[in-house]
Amino acid sequence: MASPARYNPHMPEYEPVIGLEVHAQLRTRSKMFCSCPADYQAAPPNTRVCPVCLGLPGTLPVINREAIRSIIMTGLALHCEIAEETKFDRKNYTYPDLMKGYQISQYDLPICHDGYLDIDVDGGRKRIGIERVHMEEDVAKLFHRVDPATGEGYSLVDVNRSGVPLMEMVGRPDLRSAEEARTYLVAYRSILQYLGVSTGSMEEGSFRCDANVSLRPVGTSAFGTKVEVKNMNSFRAVFRAIEFEIDRQSKRLERGERIAMETRGWVEEKGITISLRSKEEANDYRYFPEPDLPPLHVAPAWIAELEELLPELPEPRKARFMAADGAEGYGLSGYDASLLTDSPALADYFEEAVAAVRPAAPAAPAAPATTPPSGSPTG
């Protein structure tokens, strides 16, 4: 196991402590609580809306079963406990992109909790705890513009995204470097893509990550003051933003300055984080159980059924790709196996390509007419 000191080249006596919160939009046909199509990305503005997702008074939400199915599959893949008794709660705040003045989310009873995700780092395996995975709804999208004639700013609202199912995964602060954070994020996205529950596209905004970063003296267990970093639009941005933050906080501590508890935003063009708001002004969300939805009972039989339906996930598939060349394995290096199994599409393509040229491969029946006779050279 690597010494923690090597994780912080900026100031080795301090150890970075990093936890990620990841929001993933689910690929359901309809939105979380209404029957509007959830394919908002390519739709003209404000064409995927109804009284429910517009937040009009008197409307009632209905839970999307497919979204619940997706989150349970995700929880199972992350070795989580799946709650049989769960509920939705109202998170109250006001912002122009929040149509109802509250977001339906989950507070104290998330559907999935206490799981883990194993990642390969520094030639070893590391287990990262998952605190919870819960279900909520996305908000509308704001477009900020400047009127060229007057120079005045104004904003446009596209409500299409409002109510799209959003799954939030909260990881435990077990990550110790920007590289570990990136590896973990890639591994999580890979699982979602294998399950087919999310596109996992950071560029499109269907996969978004916030990072909590703090430092503490090496050898201590108490957490330092944490800073939340937002607005990263790529895996590279997540890596760079965390690196920047470790460096910034190291330098402050070196100068004997305090770290302010705040939310910071990543500015891609400048490669820096800037303060967005102080945590002292943090909202009190006044959570309470959503009165328009009944508690949600998840039948153990359904959980067992979904467990049976889990596909081969990236981790076992990678192990199989590394197994001795033969009927199942391909004898690949860990590096090659990782590259090929991160994306299910690439892994499938690889297996199909091998099957097409390897007579003894299990997928050979897929190409019977072209399979060369045994004894022929293979690729």
Quote the CA–CA distance of 50 and 310 in Å, as a whole number.
34
Q: Smaller CB distance to Zn ion: residue 28 or 371?
A: 28
How far apart are CB 357 and Zn ion at their closest, in Å? Answer: 49
50 binds Zn ion (CB under 5 A): yes
Interface with Zn ion includes 53 (CB under 5 A)?
yes
Size of the site for Zn ion (CB under 5 A): 5
Q: Which is nearer to Zn ion, 49 or 71 (CB)?
A: 49
Provide the minimum distance between the beta carbon of 59 and Zn ion in the complex, in angstroms, as a whole number.
9
Q: Which of 36, 72, 117, 140 binds Zn ion (CB under 5 A)?
A: 36
63 binds Zn ion (CB under 5 A): no
Minimum CB distance to Zn ion smaller for 52 or for 140: 52
**Burial of residue 316 (number of CB atoms within 10 Å: 0-12, 13-18, 19+):** exposed
Rg (CA), the chain: 23
**120 φ/ψ sector (left φ>0, alpha ψ -120 to 50, else beta):** beta
User: Among 51-59, 149-157, 239-247, 258-266, which window interacts with Zn ion (CB under 5 A)?
Assistant: 51-59
The DSSP result for 91-151, as a single string, is EE---TT-TTSEEEE-SS--SEEEEEEEEEETTEEEEEEEEEEEEEE---EEEEEE-TTT-
Binding positions for Zn ion, 272-291, rule CB under 5 A: none
Task: Report how far apart, in Å, the C-alpha atoms of 50 and of each of 15, 37, 239, 291, 294 are.
Answer: 49, 10, 39, 20, 22
Q: Is 76 in the site for Zn ion (CB under 5 A)?
A: no
Using CB under 5 A, which of the segments 36-44, 82-90, 128-136, 318-326 binds Zn ion?
A: 36-44
Minimal distance in Å, beta carbon 161 to Zn ion? Answer: 11
From 11, 22, 34, 237, residue interacting with Zn ion (rule: CB under 5 A): 34
- Give, in order, the Cα–Cα distances in Å from 314 to each of 67, 92, 134, 187: 22, 38, 22, 8
What are the residues binding Zn ion (CB under 5 A)?
34, 36, 50, 52-53
